[in-house]
C-alpha cells in the first residue's frame, strides 16, 4: 500500500524541525513585537552568552520531549507503572533544573543566579514539555491504532464480501448446470446457444465479478442471459415479463448484486404453481436504481427446501448493508399469491 506523502520520514522530520524553530523563536518574536521602540542592547557579550544558554537548554528540552514521548510514556505509563513513571519524571526534572542552574552559573556567574526564579521558570517549562510530549505520544498512538483498526476493518470487509460473492456464485452455477443437463437429455437444439450463453456468464463471473464495480449495462446483460437460460428450461410453463428502461451508461454497480433476486424468483416461483409468472422491472432515475422482482408462489405448498435455499437472499442483504448502508432500501413482501422484492439503490 502506497504511503501518503505526509507520512514519509523526511516530511515528518521537516515538520518537526519547523515546529521547534517556530516554538523557540516565538518568545524572541513576541519580545521584539512588544517593544518595537526599545533601543538595542549595549551588552553584546551578555547577549551572546544568552544565546549559548538558550541553544543548549533548548536542545535539552528537545531531548526530554522525545525521551518522554517515545520511551518513558511507552515503558511506564502505557504499562500502568505509575509509581515508576512518576519517579522517572522527578529524576528528569531534577536533571534539567540542575543542568540549567549549573549552566547559568557557569555562563553568567554566581552574581546573577537566583535559585527561586530558576526553579519557577524551569518547572513551568517542564510542565509545558511534559504535557506536550505526553499528549503527542497519546495522539500519535491513537492515530496509529485507529489506522490499523481501519485497515483491519477494510480487509475484513473485503474478505467478507469475497466470501459472500463466492457463496452466491456456486448456487447460481448449480441451477444453470441443471438446466444444461436437462437440455442435453432432451437433445434440444437449444443446447448449443445455451452453452454459448453459459460461457458468457462464466466469463463474466471469472474475469469481471472480482472487480469492485462493473458497468450497469454488463450486469443487465448478465441478468438477461440468465433469464434466457431459465426460459429455455421452463418454456411456456412460466410467463416471464422483463422490462428494462433506458439508463445512464456511465452508471456502475457491484457485480452479481441483482442476480440473487432473479434466481430466487425462478427457484420459488416455479413448480406446483398455477399460472406461474415472474415480473422483472429495472429502471434508473437521477442515479437511483429501482429494481423490482415479483413472482407467484404457492403458500399452501409443503415445499422441501434444499440446503442452499435462501443463501442468495441472505447474502445479498448482507452485501447491501456492507456496501451501501443507508443508501439503499430493500423491501420484501408477500401480497396474496405474490412474493415481491423491491430494491432502491443510490448508485451515484
d(CA 170, CA 256): 12
Q: What's the Cα-to-Cα distance from 217 to each of 89, 136, 229, rounded to whole Å?
A: 66, 51, 19
User: Is pLDDT larger for residue 187 or for residue 172?
Assistant: 187
User: What's the pLDDT score for residue 229?
Assistant: 80
The average pLDDT across 17-21 equals: 85
**In the chain, what percentage of residues exceed pLDDT 90?**
22
Q: Strands (DSSP E) along the chain, which ranges?
A: 214-215, 239-244, 252-253, 277-285, 288-296, 328-335, 338-346
d(CA 157, CA 321): 11
Q: Which of 121-135, 191-205, 330-344 has the lowest mean pLDDT?
A: 191-205
d(CA 210, CA 169): 12
Domain ranges in the chain are 5-29+41-113, 155-346
d(CA 303, CA 325): 33
Note the CATH architecture for domain 155-346: 2-Layer Sandwich (3.30)
With 80 as the cut, is the pLDDT of residue 3 above it? no
Half-sphere exposure of 8 (CA within 13 A, CB side): 8
259 touches 223 (CB < 8 A): yes
Amino acid at each position: 500500500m502506497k504511503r501518503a506523502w505526509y507520512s514519509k520520514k523526511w516530511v515528518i522530520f521537516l515538520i518537526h524541525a519547523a515546529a521547534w524553530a517556530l516554538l523557540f523563536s516565538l518568545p524572541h518574536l513576541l519580545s521584539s513585537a512588544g517593544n518595537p521602540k526599545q533601543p538595542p542592547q549595549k551588552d553584546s557579550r551578555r547577549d551572546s552568552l544568552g544565546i549559548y544558554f538558550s541553544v543548549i537548554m533548548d536542545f535539552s528540552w528537545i531531548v526530554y520531549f522525545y525521551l518522554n514521548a517515545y520511551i518513558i510514556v511507552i515503558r511506564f505509563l502505557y504499562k500502568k507503572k505509575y509509581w515508576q513513571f512518576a519517579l522517572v519524571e522527578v529524576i528528569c526534572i531534577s536533571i534539567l533544573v540542575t543542568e540549567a542552574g549549573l549552566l547559568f552559573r557557569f555562563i553568567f556567574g554566581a552574581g546573577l543566579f537566583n535559585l527561586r526564579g530558576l526553579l519557577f521558570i524551569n518547572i513551568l517549562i517542564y510542565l509545558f514539555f511534559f504535557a506536550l510530549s505526553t499528549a503527542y505520544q497519546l495522539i500519535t498512538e491513537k492515530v496509529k491504532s485507529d489506522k490499523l483498526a481501519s485497515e483491519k476493518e477494510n480487509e475484513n470487509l473485503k474478505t467478507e464480501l469475497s466470501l459472500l460473492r463466492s457463496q452466491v456464485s456456486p448456487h447460481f452455477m448449480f441451477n444453470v448446470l441443471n438446466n444444461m443437463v436437462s437440455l442435453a437429455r432432451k437433445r434440444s437444439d437449444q443446447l448449443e446457444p445455451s452453452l454459448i450463453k453459459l460461457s458468457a456468464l462464466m466469463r463474466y463471473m471469472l474475469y469481471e465479478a472480482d472487480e469492485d464495480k462493473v458497468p450497469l449495462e454488463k450486469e443487465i446483460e448478465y441478468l438477461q442471459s440468465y433469464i434466457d437460460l431459465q426460459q429455455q428450461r421452463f418454456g411456456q410453463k412460466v410467463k416471464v415479463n422483463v422490462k428494462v428502461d433506458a439508463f445512464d451508461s456511465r452508471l456502475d454497480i457491484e457485480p452479481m448484486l441483482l442476480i440473487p433476486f432473479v434466481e430466487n424468483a425462478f427457484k420459488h416461483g416455479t413448480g406446483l404453481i398455477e399460472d406461474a409468472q415472474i415480473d422483472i422491472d429495472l429502471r434508473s432515475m437521477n442515479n437511483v436504481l429501482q429494481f423490482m422482482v415479483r413472482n407467484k408462489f404457492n403458500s399452501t405448498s409443503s415445499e422441501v427446501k434444499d440446503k442452499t435455499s435462501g443463501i442468495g437472499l441472505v447474502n445479498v442483504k448482507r452485501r447491501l448493508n456492507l456496501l451501501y448502508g443507508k443508501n439503499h432500501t430493500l423491501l420484501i413482501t408477500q401480497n396474496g399469491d405474490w412474493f415481491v422484492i423491491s430494491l432502491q439503490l443510490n448508485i451515484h
